[in-house]
Structure 1
Amino acid sequence: MKKWVKILLYSLLGIVLIIGSAAGYFYFKFKRDYNSTDKPYKNYIGYIGQEKALLNDVYTLCDGGNIYHTYSSASLKAYAGTKKQFRTALTENYSGDKFNDSGYLNFRFLVNCDGNAGWFEIIQMNLDLEETKLNPQMVDSLFTFTAMPQNWKELDFHEKSSNYYMYVSYRIENGKVVEIVP
């Protein structure tokens, strides 16, 4: 065989091996790494299971259900006004006088592209951060307030109104909300 044919064949073999190795690497990296079947945390940050979510059938998610602002939630940008206005509205809509529970009441939820809150997950804890059950009427009252659409605004992601993840945590002492996070 001529020398140039051998060089050409070895070059082609080298190129095929390089392409095959790159394809195998990318297959492993993107197919296997994102397979969450045998991993302890099977969902993305901000995931709220639809089978347990409250108000998951009232509104629809836009943009094929894509959720944005998942790592730190929409934070202070999501309040329809300011956080101070949110607290004032809470004071007008919620009176803790009839409750004596203390703890944290955490709402994790999604807000769709129209500013409607839904898909709620509620976590109730005592002041030592241990899961507990708080007074159901108090939880329902704060849930009703938190779910009100006038509390949330539409947020853009890449100049397009989008769905986003949000959370609100109320610190409650003797039935009174003493702190709201974020």
Structure 2
Amino acid sequence: MKSKLNLFLLISFLIALTLTIWLNYQVTNRIGDLAFNKEIDNSTFKVCDEERITQYYATNSNYQGGKKAIKKELKKTTEQLTFKNSGFVTFRFIINCKGKIGRFRVKTIDSELIENNFEIQKIKTLQTSIENLTKWNAGTWKDKTFDSYYVLNFKIEQGKITDIF
């Protein structure tokens, strides 16, 4: 009887240990995290808490005036750019707790949702235009300010940017 109890306690301990390790991994490693990459990221951009970067919808980080203001400020750039294909360009980046942006990652797909390679110089022009936007609001929750991720999508139809969302 005593050996069965010891075996039960050992198995319970191992299960609890495994669950603890797994939960810790889940909390500290999220899909889509934008870790600093010295080859592509600006070293002067700093996040306030590397361990706690939230999603924009969880802390209401945004651009002053919303997407409408972004469209207005990027209008000149978006009207001048022309592309060979249709599709989508998605920029994902971090708004730090001070309202500065950095750690850009770009994904491009065609209208069939297959990975696409738009002209790199035009993508860089779009990114530079986004980097020049200055009215970012850091995420807040319960009177605390947080770093957060943000996503901007550009829809391209017949070679022209037709929407930003």
The bucket for the TM-score relative to the shorter chain is 0.7 to 0.9
Structure 2: any 5+ residue segments left out of the alignment? none
Structure 1: any 5+ residue segments left out of the alignment? 1-9, 37-41
Q: CA deviation at 1:91?
A: 0.6
Q: Greater relative contact order: 1 or 2 (C-alpha under 8 angstroms, separation 6 or more)?
A: 2
Match of 2:53 in 1: 67
Q: Compared with structure 1, are the counterparts of its residues 175 and 147 closer, same or farther at alpha carbon in structure 2 (3 Å cutoff)?
A: farther
* Contact kept? 1:108, 1:167, Cα under 8 Å: yes
The alignment status of 1:26 with 2:16, answered yes or no, reads yes
* Contact kept? 2:54, 2:149, Cα under 8 Å: yes
Match of 1:159 in 2: 143
Between 27-36 and 138-147, report the one with greater CA deviation: 27-36
In structure 1, distance between residues paired with 2:37 and 2:58:
21
Match of 2:94 in 1: 110
The root-mean-square deviation of aligned C-alpha atoms, in Å, is: 3.2
Match of 2:107 in 1: 123
The alignment status of 1:78 with 2:62, answered yes or no, reads yes
Q: CA deviation at 1:168?
A: 1.0
Q: CA deviation at 1:43?
A: 3.9
* Contact kept? 1:53, 1:120, Cα under 8 Å: no
Q: Name the % identity.
A: 24
* Per-residue Cα deviation, 1:43-93 (whole angstroms, up to 9, x for no partner): 4033124338743423111034420127x576x741222211111111134
TM-score, scaled relative to structure 2: 0.77
* Contact kept? 1:60, 1:112, Cα under 8 Å: yes
Q: Compared with structure 1, are the counterparts of its residues 174 and 151 closer, same or farther at alpha carbon in structure 2 (3 Å cutoff)?
A: farther
In structure 1, distance between residues paired with 2:83 and 2:129:
16
In structure 1, distance between residues paired with 2:86 and 2:16:
51
Match of 1:7 in 2: none
* Per-residue Cα deviation, 1:96-134 (whole angstroms, up to 9, x for no partner): 354443211111111111111111111111111111210
Structure with more strand by fraction: 2
Equivalent residue for 2:119, pick from 132, 135, 144: 135
Equivalent residue for 1:94, pick from 63, 66, 78: 78
TM-score, scaled relative to structure 1: 0.71
